[in-house]
Amino acid sequence: MLEISKLSIRFNRLDRRLRQVHTETIHNLHLSVAAYEILAVVGSSGSGKSLLAHAILGILPNNAQVSGTIQFKGEELTPDRQRRIRGKEIALIPQSVQYLDPLIRVGEQVEQSVRQGDPVALRRKAFNKYNLADYVAKWFPFQLSGGMARKILVSTATVSGARLFIADEPTPGLDTFAMTETLNRFRQLAEDGCAMMLITHDIEAALTVADRIAVLYAGTVVEIAQRSDFTENGERLRHPYTKALWKALPGQQFVAIPGSQPLPDALPKGCVFAPRCSSATIECEESSPEPRTLRNGEVRCLHAT
């Protein structure tokens, strides 16, 4: 349903001496999501998750320069097409609850995004699925708790009848029940034939529902793995960063890797992970590896086997 290839995003700005400087925040990124599938995109803060979501929807800031191609249902997503199908065929569940209009009652906001069918009935059904009382529909966003506001954002997207959903960190602020409800709702949508992209830094949540996991690091996808690859010591994982993420989980060895993700304006020349990688060689420092297929997944590492 969605096919992204060679996506790069650069920001142009003027420096203190009024010279144009470019920072590349997403580099040569490849990704696809199919109908009936939940693809999780995991990565730490600043790895480019929200920018990726905004690029797909065509809502990047004006000073962003995009290259590469994004296809939706086999056809290129041009800015014009993005405008036409945004909120209709492709729905965003945004990261920030500030996307709710503060002056419109929340029930009405959900109803406004219905394209087909009875808006009130569909809104009621969505509220019902989420244990939101019907009177909440009359509330304004400021009256909602953080978790309720998230449920409203998810409801707004799900009543739209979209086929591709992009959920940017949909679970923070939700209690365990509400989180399970949300993730089950995504599973249901996938079973109905939708394509779901679940963006999160919570790898454990991702592993409870996703079919495949794309790991984002410093603006590029370093690995695409199957959920079943996250097992035992992580021998089935392909990239050293993914293995480190897996080992860092509380249920595993709970050991963090030293160092931090490089910032977009201080990227290493070669592999983005080389400075933190214990198996890095001179080749890794010299050139950035291209993504390649490996054991039913993808990896961007010279030494992965």
Q: Which residues of the shown chain bind ligand ATP in the complex (CB under 6 A)?
A: 11, 25, 43, 45-51, 61, 95, 201, 264
CA dist 126 and 294 (Å) reads 41
Minimum gap (Å) between residue 273 Cβ and Ni ion:
20
Minimum gap (Å) between residue 263 Cβ and ligand ATP:
6
Rank residues 222 and 271 by Cβ distance to Ni ion and give the closer one: 222
Based on the number of CB atoms within 10 Å of its own CB, is 293 exposed (0-12), middle (13-18) or buried (19 or more)?
Answer: exposed
Minimum gap (Å) between residue 45 Cβ and ligand ATP:
3
Minimum gap (Å) between residue 298 Cβ and ligand ATP:
19
> Residue 50, interface with Ni ion (CB under 5 A)?
yes
Q: Pick the piece of the chain touching Ni ion (CB under 5 A) from 43-51, 70-78, 218-226, 237-245.
A: 43-51
Minimum gap (Å) between residue 59 Cβ and ligand ATP:
11
Residue 176 amino acid letter: T
- The interface partner of residue 11, options being Ni ion, ligand ATP, none and the CB cut-off 5 to 8 Å by kind, is ligand ATP
Rank residues 43 and 291 by Cβ distance to ligand ATP and give the closer one: 43
- The interface partner of residue 201, options being Ni ion, ligand ATP, none and the CB cut-off 5 to 8 Å by kind, is ligand ATP
> Residue 252, interface with Ni ion (CB under 5 A)?
no
- The interface partner of residue 46, options being Ni ion, ligand ATP, none and the CB cut-off 5 to 8 Å by kind, is ligand ATP
Minimum gap (Å) between residue 99 Cβ and Ni ion:
13
Rank residues 50 and 71 by Cβ distance to Ni ion and give the closer one: 50
- The interface partner of residue 160, options being ligand ATP, Ni ion, none and the CB cut-off 5 to 8 Å by kind, is none
Name the closest residue to Ni ion (Cβ). 50
Question: Residues in the chain, how many?
Answer: 305
Minimum gap (Å) between residue 270 Cβ and ligand ATP:
20
Size of the site for Ni ion (CB under 5 A): 3
- The interface partner of residue 295, options being ligand ATP, Ni ion, none and the CB cut-off 5 to 8 Å by kind, is none
Rank residues 11 and 140 by Cβ distance to ligand ATP and give the closer one: 11
CA dist 262 and 210 (Å) reads 27
Q: Pick the piece of the chain touching Ni ion (CB under 5 A) from 2-10, 49-57, 62-70, 140-148.
A: 49-57
Strand order, beta sheet including 20-33: 20-33, 2-14, 64-72, 75-76
CA dist 237 and 226 (Å) reads 9
Rank residues 27 and 49 by Cβ distance to ligand ATP and give the closer one: 49
Give the residues across from 215 on adjacent strands. Answer: 42, 223
Contact code string over 84-103 relative to Ni ion, x by CB under 5 A: -----------x--------
Residue 201 amino acid letter: H
Q: Is the dihedral of CA 248, 249, 250, 253 positive or negative?
A: negative
Which residues are at the interface with Ni ion (CB under 5 A)?
Answer: 49-50, 95
